[in-house]
Structure 1
Amino acid sequence: MTGKVAAIVCEQEPGIAQTAMAEIVHAVLSSSEFALFAQFGRQQHLAKGDQLFHRGQAGDTMYVVVSGGIELDFGEDLLVKSLGPNEFFGELGLLIGDHPRSAEARAITDSVVLELGNADFQRLVDHDPGLIAYFLRRTIMRVVSNEQVLIRQLRRRNHDLETALDNLYITTHQLTHTRELVRTDELTGLHNRRGLALYLQDCRTQPEGPPQGLLLIDCDHFKKVNDEHGHQAGDRVLQSMANILRSVATETDLACRLGGDEFCLLLRTATADSLQHAAEFILSAVHGLMDRAHGVPHVCPVSIGVRLLEPHTDWSEWYARADNALYQAKRLGGNRLHWSRAATATP
């Protein structure tokens, strides 16, 4: 059949070439075409929901809808086609032979279809070669058109996927940024109380266990700085204090502004000597900034409560003991460190 059909296509009338593309690729048989196909096709009755063929199944027949409706499902989120009377489908299975079906075909209502195999189609060619030549041209153009539609759909899906990935990246970045904002003090950039709570929560899951040392730090006479020099000067003092704590903290430690002019430094690994050294460094750095200040202060003296931590206790107890030591430092005039009495030997 192949050679004869090719010759027929070459001999088709010139007027056909001028037919509009929409008409050429339309999958509906004309009345004369349908009458011819009905002479040689076999009627097949389908109940609603009956499957005509499956996607991927080898096919060697084509079909024409006589009545009812057939649904073609191409899968993978592609458009589902619904075909009605006089529309044809599955022709590639007939023309190529054992061609894998690209869609599943099922009846969407009680339907009647014409089924044509290779021998049936050969009789069509012999009976009216001109009409079949036009039908074949339409079939080829329709296949090309469908492939172009499929390519556009795939491109659109790729674009949608890229857009979704971009949106996901932006959302992830925004969530990360929001999470940092939630746990970070806006003025100093240190962790806030929520950041402290999350840090302590993370410590419980780490093999190193909870922190081992705590410095509780409070600025002496901070209210006087605000009253005499304004809140901008007070903010600068808090930011200077935050910079000093950042210079002491390692990657595993946590520097935190608890609120107002109160700070803390949690050391992940600590001994009495390392805690003493950290507290003395903070006092020394504060004194250095105070000595260089002229007029508006950049920092103010601090009192520090020092505490070695027991792993079996929690933050509330750590804070209470360190706060008591901080109070003692304040009572003694401030600008000093004081150890918690419950700690090991006071240096």
Structure 2
Amino acid sequence: MTGKVAANVCEQEAGIAQTAMAEIVHAVLSPGEFALFAQFGQQRRLPEGDHLFRRGHPGDTMYVIVSGAIELDFGEDLLVKTLGANEFFGELGLLIGDHPRSADARAVADSVVLELDNGDFQRLVERDPGLIAYFLRRTIMRVVSNEQVLIRQLRRRNHDLETALDNLYVTTHQLTHTRELVRTDELTGLHNRRGLALYLQECRAHQDGPPQGLLLIDCDRFKQVNDEHGHQAGDRVLQSVANILRSVATEADLACRLGGDEFCLLLRAADADSLQHAAEFIQSAVHGLMDRAHGLPHMCPISIGVSLLDPHTDWSEWYARADNALYQAKRLGGNRLHWSRAATATP
């Protein structure tokens, strides 16, 4: 036998086997089986729309359709099956007894079914054990096949769910990243003005209330750094200021680049002493970087306006007071801190 002929024979045998399996698994009674079942089953008429049973309810009977059509709805996103004449269902309830139904069974047309209980089935076994043995074999194979189909469906659903969760994670990550970009200054990584506005909104809703202290910081002679050394040098200066403010701020505080070479530091819990200490630390860190500079500058002098905050006023009032103090520091030559006259306590 040549390889081609052998392959054809194998394909024919596989086709015969598949046909035989389909006949075993398919839930249709042969004419002989139907005639035997009809001798012992009780006929029951179902108007269109009526239910034989509901999913999850226990049952101990099986059914054979004489005429009409019955729909089996397994729920969720599983397939809905519609059965016709000579097809049977519910056999696990008969064989196991009080087995929870796995589907809703509803007549989708005026129908007649044979209903068989355990006593009816015992009489079937006594009448033709060989035929019933073949029926049981088919039933078992059908249950196994249905379970395999269900497993594949569940695997597909799990895969779809994992894909959906992955997409949700990516989308959430993108939204979080976008939100951070919206509120973050690209050059320094500090909050920008929008981030400041959102922070102030969060403060109003927070039980600890608004921040208590504000440092308004401005670089002295920053334009000179840009003009003499280029904008990259200027960017390095701004990043150095940002790093110093970041090192001072706690999780509850906010360091922000307001724009250009102007920064602010809002301290959630502060008094005159802690504000003075924070401003002096910033000045000291700036001087340390300036002393270590060789060649291109990494820092320039800064001026700081310091203000304790009135919780009954808003940002515009806070800014105006700190800005007035900053103006006074600049007017006095810069490279210093100055307190707002409106501060409740001045060192």
Give the TM-score category using the shorter length. 0.7 to 0.9
One-letter identity of the residue aligned with 2:43: Q
Aligned-partner Cα distance in 2 for 1:120–1:346: 100
Q: C-alpha distance in 2, partners of 1:173/1:161?
A: 18
- Are residues 135 and 17 of structure 1, via their aligned partners in 2, closer, same or farther at CA, if it must alter by over 3 Å? farther
Partner of 2:98: 98
Mapped partners of 2:129, 2:277: distance in 1: 102
2:206 alignment counterpart:
206
Give secondary structure in 1 for the equivalent of 2:95: helix
Partner letter of residue 230 of structure 2? G
Q: Residue type of the partner of 2:340?
A: S
Q: Provide the residue aligned with 1:10 in structure 2.
A: none
- The answer as to 2:242 corresponding to 1:242 is yes
Give the secondary structure class of the aligned counterpart of 2:113: strand
Alignment of 1:29 with 2:51, yes or no, is no
Residue 186 of structure 1 aligns with which residue?
A: 186
- Go from structure 1 to structure 2 and tell me whether the alpha carbon gap of 1:211 and 1:74 turns closer, same or farther (over 3 Å shift): same
Amino acid corresponding to residue 291 of structure 1 in structure 2: D
The AA in structure 2 aligned to 1:179 is: R
Q: Confirm or deny that 1:315 pairs with 2:276.
A: no
- For the residue of structure 1 that corresponds to 2:206, the secondary structure is coil
Deviates more, 1:208-217 or 1:37-46: 37-46
Task: Tell me the CA shift for residue 42 of structure 1.
Answer: 2.9
**Equivalent residue number for residue 339 of structure 2:** 339
Distance 1:331 1:161, change over 3 A: same
Instruction: Give the letter for the 1:88 counterpart.
Output: F
Kindly state the Cα deviation for residue 187 of structure 1 after the two structures are TM-superposed. Answer: 0.9
| Other-structure match for 1:297 | 297
Which residue of 2 is the match for residue 287 of structure 1? 287
SS of residue in 2 equivalent to 1:190: coil
Q: What residue in structure 2 maps to residue 7 of structure 1?
A: none
Alpha-carbon deviation of 1:19? 6.6
Deviations, residues 124-177 of structure 1 (Å, cap 9, x unaligned): 444444333322211111112122222333333334444444444444443333
Partner of 1:271: 271
The corresponding residue for 1:52 is 52
| Offset of residue 182 of structure 1 | 2.3
Cα distance in 2 for partners of 1:82, 1:277 equals: 80
- CA 1:111/1:302 → structure 2, altered by over 3 Å: closer, same or farther? same
Residue 41 of structure 1 is matched in structure 2 by 41
Q: Which amino acid aligns with 1:211?
A: P
User: 2:113 maps to which residue?
Assistant: 113
Q: Secondary structure at the match of 1:255?
A: strand
Percentage of pairs with the same residue = 88
Unaligned runs of 5+ in 2: 1-15
CA distance in 1, matches of 2:321, 2:98: 84
**1:145-224 → structure 2 map (5 Å cutoff):** 145-224=145-224
Change (3 A) 1:243 1:139: same
Q: How does 1:221-232 map to 2 (within 5 A)?
A: 221-232=221-232
Between the aligned partners of 1:319 and 1:17, the Cα distance in structure 2 is 86
Amino acid at match of 2:178: T
- In structure 2, give the amino acid aligned to 1:87: E
Aligned to 2:8: none
Work out the CA distance in 2 between the residues paired with 1:95 and 1:273: 85
- The equivalent of 1:9 in structure 2 is none
Mapped to 2, the partners of 1:336 and 1:141 lie a distance apart of 89
2:239 is aligned with what amino acid?
Q
Letter in structure 1 aligned against 2:305 = G
Please report the TM-score for the alignment, with normalisation by the length of structure 1: 0.87
Change in Cα spacing, 1:120 to 1:244, as seen in structure 2 (3 Å) is closer
Residue aligning to 2:306: 306
Moved more, 44-53 or 86-95: 86-95
Secondary structure of the 2:48 match is coil
User: Per the alignment, in what secondary structure is the counterpart of residue 185 of structure 2?
Assistant: coil
Deviation at 1:265, TM superposition (A): 0.8
